[in-house]
Amino acid sequence: MMNNNIHHIIGLDFGAGAVKFAGDAGEGHLLSQVSAADPRRKRVVNLDPTGLLKARTPDFLRADFGAFYVGPGAHEHGRPVEGLDPDRFSAGKIDTRALFCAAVAKYMADGAAPGPLTIAVGLPLEPMLGDNAAANKAAVEGWMRGQHRFAFAPEGGRERELDVHVERVLVTSQAAAALFYLALDDHGGVADGELLAAEVGVISIGFATMELFAVSGKSPVRNLCASSPVGVQRLLTLADPERAYTLGELDGRLRRGALDVSATLPIWAREVEGEIRRIWGRAAKRFSRVIAVGGGALLLRRTLESAFSPYLVFPDDPIMAVARGLRKIARGKYAKT
């Protein structure tokens, strides 16, 4: 059970495929699938319309900005919302807000409201390194900080009213958090000083994009930091040329092992290799280590090992590494304040 007086620090990796969270009370993830629901319609649980199977509605969220199904199966209910535009974070669009509230609710699994929250948010490189980086960070902090009142019902569960106060928001890049996950200890102190001092590359292959991040002595090497639209969604579109499914539905099928990608995986792998060569070229030989994270990195593990062995590093959990790194960064910055 959660102590209401504890100030929780949560790392929140806002991936286009899934939102990952890691905090003092535990960690988990929520598929980034959102569909708009009729707020007047009563949730139906344990439907059995055909006699062949039982279906249950997905997690349900109700707030002043709308009502939504979220997570696995959301696109099979309501009206799918797939906003993958880069300003979805800074603008605080309704699907982004819905996923944020649902992820916090998942973290607060017992339904109790903790004390004020500190949220360390990981965003893609594009909004973090461009000309509008400072404005983008301020915009995210603006909509995320403060009071959030909403109702949440987990799949098959009862709806509960929640009132959450976010006191502090720290915004950084997902790729940088991957580096700090390996370089910092659980309290945010330095665990691997050599890694922080070295020239290191990070490959983050998420749902929407692949991001390449290079750092030397804790400073980004700007000309080696770039984002490319060859994330897992590219594999999914190759596997569904007729566009018969939404990307969220395809992602769900891939995760369940119900999507055959045996013919398209090699094509996608070559596209990813080509983008890495285009952005890094021979400069990749400067890196003492290359860190690979994200669900796409797991799918392409053999490809990456072939290209970067023996100095390729896979964290113990490449999918949760960014969220854990964000939490470590925030603990180092705020734990004593």
Domain ranges of the chain: 8-176+322-334, 191-319
SS3 101: helix
Structure confidence at residue 80 as a pLDDT band (50, 70, 90): confident
| For the chain, percent of residues with pLDDT exceeding 90 | 63
Transcribe 105-121 into DSSP letters: HHHTTT----S-EEEEE
- 131's tokens: 């000309």
pLDDT above 60 (res 41): no
Q: What is the mean pLDDT of residues 207-212?
A: 92
- Tell me, yes or no, if the two domains 8-176+322-334 and 191-319 fold the same way: yes
CB neighbours of residue 20 within 10 Å: 25
- The CA angle 330-210-214, to the nearest 5 degrees, is 60
Query: Higher model confidence: residue 151 or residue 43?
Result: 151
The separation between the first and the last C-alpha atoms of the chain, rounded to the nearest angstrom, is: 24
Average of per-residue pLDDT values in the chain: 87
Is 249 in a helix, a strand, or coil? helix
The sign of the CA dihedral 176, 22, 91, 155 is positive
Q: What is the pTM of this model?
A: 0.89
Which is it for the CA torsion 277, 279, 282, 287, positive or negative? negative
Domain at 8-176+322-334, CATH from 3.10.450.710, 1.10.1660.10, 3.30.420.40, 3.40.50.2000: 3.30.420.40
* Cα–Cα distance measured from residue 208 to residue 232, given in angstroms and rounded to the nearest whole number: 6
Where does the pLDDT of residue 47 fall: very low under 50, low under 70, confident under 90, or very high at 90 and above?
very low
Q: Pairing state of beta strands 289-293 and 312-313?
A: parallel
Which residue is associated with the tokens 């569904």?
240
How high is the pLDDT of residue 88?
Answer: 66
Highest mean pLDDT among 27-41, 48-62, 103-117, 218-232: 218-232
Domain 191-319, CATH: 3.30.420.40
Dump pLDDT digits (tens) for 116-138.
899 999 988 887 777 788 888 89
Task: Label residue 73 by pLDDT band (50, 70, 90).
Answer: confident
CA distance 332 to 337: 10
Predicted pLDDT of residue 87: 63
At residue 84 the predicted structure's pLDDT band, cuts being 50, 70 and 90, is: low
The Cα–Cα gap between 195 and 288 comes to 8
